[in-house]
Structure 1
């Protein structure tokens, strides 16, 4: 397994190593490699899975308080994955990063606590798996609209389904003020 840094501080792309001549198996997670990059697998306390149909957009979701780190992968299909750095002290605060996760390359994303996360299903059926390092506390949930103009996320497909909760989410500007006391725009 290889670990690559991304444009957001602390967001890591985990790339599996092929096993076998035909490439039909892959080493998708190695505890010792992950630990060298600051991912302590023993901290994961929940595994979750969601199923989405093509065009569905979920996000942008995060948590206040101590937040939660996630290890995200696409077990079936392909998805457009989005991370926004919502950690006020981070050097990449406000930055948006996008990734393609699928069941062919089997890449995973490690998303540190304090980031917003969302995705769009690109294939007929998408199964998304999450390993989470904190039990869910709904009182800490925060969300920003998937189409917030300040984030300017370029979703690859027209959205087919967006939950009422996600349609009613707040703005990046309001969350930024809540987190920092400043309404400045995101960095270029």
Structure 2
């Protein structure tokens, strides 16, 4: 497994190296030793406490979501299909505050995205169906949920497809400016 840094400090792309033959493929989707060594944080892998999976149809956007308080770290991958994955830095003291990056996560290259605490996260399904798996380091607490509208003009996220559907909660998500007031 290779690890690549991104332009947003702390956000990492983890790239498994699958073995392919006439039967299909085999790949390691997580390696605690490599993860802990790369983060220079012995035991960081043991802090993951919950795995979740979502299935979305083409054009669906899920996001932009984050956590208040101490935030949460996520390890995200697309197990089936492909997604356009977006992260936005919401760490007020960060030199990259407000910057966003997008990544292609798919079931061909198996890239994983490590997102440290202090980021909004969302994605759009690019295929008929896309299964996204999340590994997080804190139990979910709905009282800490924060969100920004996926179509917020200040964030100006370019979704590659027309947005076909969002959840009712995401449709009513506040603006970037409202989040700034909340982060105050």
Q: Above 0.5 in TM-score?
A: yes
- Deviation string, structure 1 residues 57-78 (Cα, Å, up to 9, x no partner): 1100001001110000001100
Name the TM-score, length of structure 1 as normaliser. Answer: 0.91
**CA distance in 1: counterparts of 2:73 and 2:34, whole angstroms:** 17
Unaligned runs of 5+ in 2: none
**CA distance in 2: counterparts of 1:18 and 1:122, whole angstroms:** 22
Q: Tell me the C-alpha RMSD between the 2 structures.
A: 1.4
Unaligned runs of 5+ in 1: 182-188
Compared CA separation, residues 15 and 148, structure 1 to 2 (3 A): same
Do the aligned residues in 2 keep the contact of 1:71 with 1:109 (CA within 8 Å)?
Answer: yes
Q: 2:181 aligns with which of 168, 177, 180?
A: 177
Displacement over 4 Å in runs of 4+: 20-23
User: What SS does structure 1 have at the residue aligned with 2:169?
Assistant: helix
Do the aligned residues in 2 keep the contact of 1:17 with 1:28 (CA within 8 Å)?
Answer: no
Q: Which residue of 2 aligns with 1:128?
A: 132
**CA distance in 1: counterparts of 2:10 and 2:144, whole angstroms:** 21
**CA distance in 1: counterparts of 2:90 and 2:72, whole angstroms:** 12
Measured after TM superposition, the shift of residue 26 of structure 1 is 2.1
Question: Does 1:166 find its partner at 2:170?
Answer: yes
Measured after TM superposition, the shift of residue 90 of structure 1 is 1.8
Q: Which residue of 2 aligns with 1:11?
A: 11
Measured after TM superposition, the shift of residue 36 of structure 1 is 1.7
**CA distance in 1: counterparts of 2:96 and 2:88, whole angstroms:** 9
Measured after TM superposition, the shift of residue 95 of structure 1 is 0.7
Question: Does 1:47 find its partner at 2:48?
Answer: no
Q: 2:87 aligns with which of 83, 86, 89?
A: 83
Q: Which residue of 1 aligns with 2:121?
A: 117
Aligned residues: 180
Q: 2:73 aligns with which of 69, 75, 83?
A: 69
Do the aligned residues in 2 keep the contact of 1:2 with 1:15 (CA within 8 Å)?
Answer: yes
Measured after TM superposition, the shift of residue 178 of structure 1 is 2.3
Do the aligned residues in 2 keep the contact of 1:9 with 1:91 (CA within 8 Å)?
Answer: no
**CA distance in 1: counterparts of 2:181 and 2:73, whole angstroms:** 23
